[in-house]
Amino acid sequence: MSGNFYTDVILKSAWARNPSAVCKDIAMLEPGTRAKVQAFIADAKSLGHDLRVLETYRSQARQSQLYGAGRTQLAKVGCHGFGVAADLGLFIDGTKYDPRGQDYLFFQALCVKHKLISGIGWGTPHAAHTFNDYDHVQNVPIFRQDDLFAGRWYPSPDYDPLEDMIKRGVKGM
């Protein structure tokens, strides 16, 4: 990949040089993804949900740590490594993180509204999935991930994954 947020910002960042750090820096999200995540959080707040960024960029080293600790089902870093995904924690009474999946179901509707893919159903809730990642949102549909990871494709700041799914005939939200 050349000439995109991944190559121009992420690979040159201090976060990439500190691979085991937890990155909550929203500036590490690709600009289109960042705008969507910020609008998503603001919209959730207007609905009474206290969301906070738990993680944006994630290195392979950090992914391996999480996998080894049993905190993720993915051994290889995914969209977090490319600046197109964020984990958003739901907080109760301003202090307590709520990890219960059922409390995140509002993510699906907000993801559709803000043109993001929810880790709940991965944009194709009627398809079989091996797991749900309740607090996860991303700006890339599953069918684009292989090209993203291989460096053959990267989303533009105005990319709409839901429109792309429709154009490709992928049945989703």
Contact 121, 86 (CB under 8 A): no
Provide the pLDDT confidence category of residue 6 given band limits of 50, 70 and 90: very high
pLDDT score recorded for residue 131: 74
SS3 100: coil
The CATH number of the structural domain formed by 5-168 is: 3.30.1380.10
pLDDT score recorded for residue 172: 66
CA end-to-end distance (rounded Å), the chain: 29
- C-alpha span between 7 and 127 (Å, rounded): 33
pLDDT score recorded for residue 42: 98
DSSP state of 120: T
Contact 83, 5 (CB under 8 A): yes
pLDDT score recorded for residue 1: 47
Provide the pLDDT confidence category of residue 97 given band limits of 50, 70 and 90: confident
Q: What is the pLDDT of residues 31-78, one digit of tens each?
A: 999 999 999 999 999 999 999 999 999 998 988 888 888 887 777 888
pLDDT at residue 142 greater than cutoff 60: yes
Residue 44 has φ and ψ, to the nearest 5°, of -60, -40
Chain mean pLDDT for the chain: 90
Q: Which residue has the tokens 């005939």?
A: 169
pLDDT score recorded for residue 94: 83
pLDDT at residue 171 greater than cutoff 60: yes
- C-alpha span between 58 and 62 (Å, rounded): 6
